[in-house]
């Protein structure tokens, strides 16, 4: 047992800092470029990924691309697909209309010349959407006020060509600045807010919204849009104030599947500070309007955590809500963000998600304010930590960075299906936090199958030997441990599990009680 322990710790350290001769070299700037890909490359045989359960409203258009890794062509089939749904056997995209309320258990199958895979998939037709945390890409930290139709189409293309869609990234979301504004250096964004009938007008970078969502949908992906309940968005573009019903209808007619509703200038419409009723009102209104549309549209509340939004975000019709302000470009505190967000874990459940903001690793785009594109300020270890923390929390997984600069390392961090499965676990729990030292904590997430995910989180500046005692974690005395990043079984551990965790590192494992 002791020997196995020693082996495991050595293996971990080796993998996380391959060329670091000593532990304190983790801090060396050289490591910034030492990008160790921990996850084995997916093989050519099919592997079906994605959530095990999927919620949709009866009678509404249904769209689901079966996230599947493996070399194309793959032949897809499905057993038990309810009437009204059709699977394209070449693309793996299911379309049609959601059947009447009820649960439908389907077996999805994928086959190519290298092998086959199958998986059970439950379609839950009913009122609850987003039974697992939504996943996708949002343009904000890539394009800011330079977003165009062409860039959105390119994003949809890359989600597919990069393999991100094959592990479950699904929504392609336009953030702020698709409308007109009053003053701007870019004449393409300058124009009337609405037509003579009060319909919101996209700016000239978006010549045809319906054609854009059709393009995204044709790939089996979904489209998201953004507005504010105030007269102006945070970027100073046209908001929905006074036109909420018309805008909700318009978003549905254009074919959008998600709305991010950003408080912004709504502050000017209410008392300062706003009362709880003031905070809820615009979201209650939009939530009920979206429900009246003839398609499923998720609502992401963006109001930075005001009024304990986690307590009422679901009640007003939201599927997710930002729990704090923008993560922005000062990302030196992701562990603190995770700790703060985790305080609200009790409010989280299928269909109702705490949103600590986007995954910001890789490259930030060219922003009005920030000048030239640049890399987010993370070491490779911190990129792994970012993704590990977000999955332990069960957060929506929206990547927001420049897709055109994705490299193999960042892609590997974003696309490990076993790590993502922790996030997408149907039980919908956020991890509980157990402090084991200054800036050192464990995160334990209960999983549907009775197992657990465990993160050993070191927010300090030095490598630390950390131990998870099973009893302190509320777990039985013998646990099978699997290293998720490396997709490797480490064996059975009695009493505890220990690992050397690099500075700002998270060791992420899945546990199963040994029978
Ligand atoms: C902020 C929001 C960001 C982004 C931005 C657009 O309020 O938190 O995520 O949407 O507005 O102006």
List, run by run, the mean pLDDT of 10-residue segments along the chain (515 residues). Answer: 39 34 28 70 97 98 98 98 98 98 98 98 98 98 93 98 98 98 88 97 98 98 98 97 98 98 96 96 98 98 98 98 83 88 97 97 70 81 95 98 94 97 98 97 98 96 94 96 95 95 94 95
- The pLDDT of residue 333 is 87
* The pair of three-digit structure tokens given for residue 334, joined into one six-digit string: 């992701």
Cβ(326) to ligand 1 under 6 A?
yes
pLDDT at residue 331, as a whole number: 61
pLDDT at 150: 98
* Residue 448, number of CB atoms within 10 A of its CB: 12
Nearest CA owner, ligand 1 atom 11: 234
**Does the model's pTM come out above 0.85?**
yes
Please give the number of the atom of ligand 1 that sits closest to the Cα of 264.
7
- Cβ 301 under 6 angstroms from ligand 1: no
Place of tokens 């002791």: 2
Helix (H, G, I), strand (E, B) or coil at 408: helix
Residue with the nearest Cα to atom 2 of ligand 1?
A: 326
Task: Answer for the pair 470, 481: CB distance below 8 angstroms, yes or no.
Answer: no
User: Which protein residue's CA is at the shortest distance from atom 3 of ligand 1?
Assistant: 326
Alpha carbons 349 and 429: distance in angstroms, whole number: 6
Q: Is 174 in the pocket of ligand 1 (CB under 6 A)?
A: no
Q: Which residues are catalytic?
A: 262, 326
- Ordered by where they begin, the domains of the chain are 26-41+432-513 (2.60.40.1180), 58-125 (2.60.40.10), 135-423 (3.20.20.70)
Q: Is the CB of 176 under 6 A from ligand 1?
A: yes
User: Rounded to an integer, what distance in angstroms lies between the CA atom of residue 387 and that of residue 420?
Assistant: 9
> Terminus-to-terminus CA distance in the chain, angstroms?
18
Predicted confidence at residue 407, as pLDDT, reads 93
Sheet of 397-399: strand order equals 353-355, 320-322, 298-302, 258-262, 222-227, 171-173, 135-138, 397-399
Buried b / exposed e along 54-72 (16+ C-beta atoms within 10 A): bbbbeebbbbbbbbbbbee
For atom 7 of ligand 1, the residue with the nearest CA is 234
């Amino acid at each position: 047992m002791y020997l196995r322990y020693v082996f495991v710790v050595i293996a971990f350290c080796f993998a996380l800092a391959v060329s670091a001769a000593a532990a304190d070299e983790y801090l060396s700037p050289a490591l910034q470029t030492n990008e160790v890909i921990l996850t084995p490359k997916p093989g050519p045989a099919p592997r079906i990924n994605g959530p095990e359960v999927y919620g949709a409203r009866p009678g509404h258009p249904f769209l689901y691309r079966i996230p599947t890794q493996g070399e194309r062509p793959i032949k897809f089939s499905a057993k038990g697909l309810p009437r009204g749904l059709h699977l394209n056997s070449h693309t793996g995209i299911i379309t049609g209309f959601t059947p009447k309320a009820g649960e439908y258990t389907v077996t999805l199958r994928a086959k190519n010349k290298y092998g086959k895979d199958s998986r059970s998939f439950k379609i839950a037709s009913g009122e609850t959407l987003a039974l697992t945390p939504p996943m996708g890409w949002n343009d904000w930290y890539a394009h800011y006020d330079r977003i165009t139709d062409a860039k959105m189409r390119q994003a949809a293309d890359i989600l597919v060509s990069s393999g991100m869609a094959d592990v479950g990234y699904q929504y392609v979301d336009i953030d702020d600045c698709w409308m007109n504004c009053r003053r701007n250096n870019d004449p393409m964004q300058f124009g009337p807010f609405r037509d003579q009938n009060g319909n919101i007008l996209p700016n000239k970078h978006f010549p045809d919204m319906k054609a854009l969502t059709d393009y995204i949908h044709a790939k089996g992906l979904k489209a998201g849009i953004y507005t504010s309940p105030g007269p102006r968005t945070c970027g100073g573009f046209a908001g929905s104030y006074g036109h909420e019903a018309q805008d909700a209808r318009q978003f549905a007619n254009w074919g959008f599947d998600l709305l991010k509703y950003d408080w912004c200038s709504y502050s000017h419409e209410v008392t300062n500070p706003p009362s709880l009723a003031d905070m809820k009102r615009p979201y209650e209104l939009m939530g009920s309007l979206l429900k009246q549309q003839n398609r499923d549209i998720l609502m992401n509340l963006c109001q930075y955590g005001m009024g304990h939004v986690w307590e009422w975000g679901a009640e007003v019709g939201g599927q997710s809500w930002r729990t704090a302000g923008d993560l922005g470009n000062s990302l030196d505190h992701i562990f603190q963000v995770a700790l703060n967000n985790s305080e609200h874990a009790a409010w989280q459940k299928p269909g109702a998600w705490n949103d600590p903001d986007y995954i910001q690793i890789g490259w930030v785009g060219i922003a009005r304010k920030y000048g030239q594109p640049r890399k987010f300020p993370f070491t490779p270890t911190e990129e792994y930590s970012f993704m590990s923390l977000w999955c332990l929390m069960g957060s929506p997984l929206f990547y927001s960075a420049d897709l055109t600069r994705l490299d193999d390392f960042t892609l590997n961090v974003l696309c490990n299906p076993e790590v993502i499965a922790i996030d997408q676990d149907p039980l919908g729990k956020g991890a509980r936090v157990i402090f084991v030292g200054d800036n050192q904590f464990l995160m334990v997430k209960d999983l549907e199958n009775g197992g657990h995910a465990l993160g050993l989180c070191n927010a300090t500046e030095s490598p630390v030997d950390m131990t998870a005692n099973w009893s302190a974690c509320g777990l039985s005395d013998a646990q099978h441990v699997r290293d998720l990043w490396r997709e490797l079984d480490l064996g059975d551990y009695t009493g505890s599990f220990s690992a050397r965790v690099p500075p700002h590192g998270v060791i992420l494992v899945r546990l199963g009680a040994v029978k």
